[in-house]
Structure 1
Amino acid sequence: MTTVMPQSELVRRAAQYIDEMLKEGKSLSVLLDEAGMRFNLSPKDAEMLRDLFKSDNNGE
């Protein structure tokens, strides 16, 4: 049986996944695509994560 999870929890888990994989040297663009599919993110959620991680990488 599957468990329904709030979208905010999926976004949090996706962000954690991306953060861990970036430490292993993987490309941000590839990770964003993988996380979008893996965590069933909406385009708006994926864009928010992209902005979050790009701003973190720029030191803003």
Structure 2
Amino acid sequence: MPTIMPKSELVRRAFAYLQEQRKLQPARSLSSLLDEAGMRFNLTPVDAEALERLFRSEQKLD
């Protein structure tokens, strides 16, 4: 039986997934990874946009 998870937890897991995949596949485009994370973690379009903004702002800090 699947477990229901809060949306914030899904976004956190998607963010961690993106960080991991960027290290493993640095040549892969961010948009491709964002699309995959959105499907994998069943994110809404609003959640996916927030994730993209969060990821891009983190990259600027590095």
Query: Equivalent pairs: percent with the same residue?
Result: 60
RMSD: 1.4
Which 4+ stretches in 1 moved above 4 angstroms?
A: none
Of 36, 39, 42, the residue aligned with 2:41 is: 39
Segments of 5+ residues of structure 2 without an aligned counterpart are none
Hey, what does 1:48 align to over in structure 2?
50
The equivalent residue for 2:29 is 27
Distance 2:35 2:5 in 1: 20
Greater relative contact order (CA < 8 Å, ≥ 6 in sequence): 2
| Separation in structure 2 between the aligned mates of residue 23 and residue 7 of structure 1, nearest angstrom | 25
Long gaps (5+) in structure 1? none
Report how many residues are paired. Answer: 60
TM-score when normalising by structure 1: 0.88
Q: Could you state the TM-score of these two structures normalised by the residue count of structure 2?
A: 0.85
